[in-house]
Amino acid sequence: MIVTIDGVAASGKSSVASGVARHLGIPYVSSGLLYRAATLLALEAGTDLSDAPALLALLGAAPLRLEPLPEGNRVVLTSTAALHPERDLTADAHTSAVDAGVSAVAQLPEVREWVNAQLRALTPPFVAEGRDMGTAVFPQAQAKFFLMASPRVRALRRVKERPGDLAEVEAALVARDAKDKAQSAPAADAQIIDTGTLDLAGVIAAVLRGLHQPASSDLS
Ligand code: DC
């Protein structure tokens, strides 16, 4: 079984996917973490974020491993023997610098193919979260969800996790929505959930209810 949970930035996808996966007793897979890790490596190496061949060379030289743990995914730079020991990139992949650069990296078709190959190599069952899980990557998924919330609601949630100026955070989210738009359309058979008036437990409950409902119904 594959369940996909897509949605806009800071709509709570990871927390919801984690909660749903734990309820079902299966792992969840954060596709955004792979885009973030690729961006982090590029920033650290001083690589131009639009230079696809250079980025793919970086990813080839320093293999990343996504660990789809139920309580939270980790992304690890695997050890290249003498060069460096294994390094957990998860925390460093969630900085504002990575937030600002990741959309440029995620726009590159070559990087998307690389991420999608990593994801398709994983063995189901799992809950996959991202932007295009239900459309491009796992169109065969048994159940698909798409999370929405207004920019203000998402900015309020984000400043609780990572303190910052609310107006600036909201503007950055709107800018990232625009940059990520191409790959962020809901699948035709996805159930849309407006999370604006729901807390985390409420969204998880809506997804679990939706697992037993026909597709294309609005659960908000
Ligand atoms: O979900 P997130 O905020 O961690 O994702 C980080 C970025 O990666 C986001 O700006 C868009 C991109 N992304 C994507 O293009 N496709 C995905 N399936 C997941 C993330």
CATH number of 1-26+125-220: 3.40.50.300
Q: What percent of the chain has pLDDT over 70?
A: 95
Model's pTM, two decimal places?
Answer: 0.90
Tell me whether domains 1-26+125-220 and 31-124 share a fold. yes
Find, among 57, 48, 33, 188, the residue nearest to 122 by Cα: 33
Q: What is the mean pLDDT of residues 66-93?
A: 86
Closest residue CA from atom 6 of ligand 1: 32
Atom of ligand 1 nearest to the CA of 94: 4
Ligand 1 in reach of 17 Cβ (< 6 A): no
Task: Read off the pLDDT of each residue in 115-134 and give the average, rounded to a whole number.
Answer: 96
Question: How does DSSP classify residue 150?
Answer: -
Mean of all residue pLDDT scores within the chain: 92
pLDDT digits (tens, 9 = 90+) for 138-161: 999 999 999 999 999 999 998 988
User: What are the residue ranges spanned by the domains of the chain?
Assistant: 1-26+125-220, 31-124
Q: If you average pLDDT over residues 88-94, what whole number do you get? A: 96
CATH superfamily of the 31-124 domain: P-loop containing nucleotide triphosphate hydrolases (3.40.50.300)
**Which strand (E) or helix (H) includes residue 2?**
strand 2-7
145 in ligand 1 pocket by Cβ < 6 Å? no
Contact 103, 109 (CB under 8 A): no
Instruction: Tell me the pLDDT band of 219, cut-offs 50, 70 and 90.
Output: low
- Are 33 and 17 in contact by the 8 Å Cβ rule? The answer is no
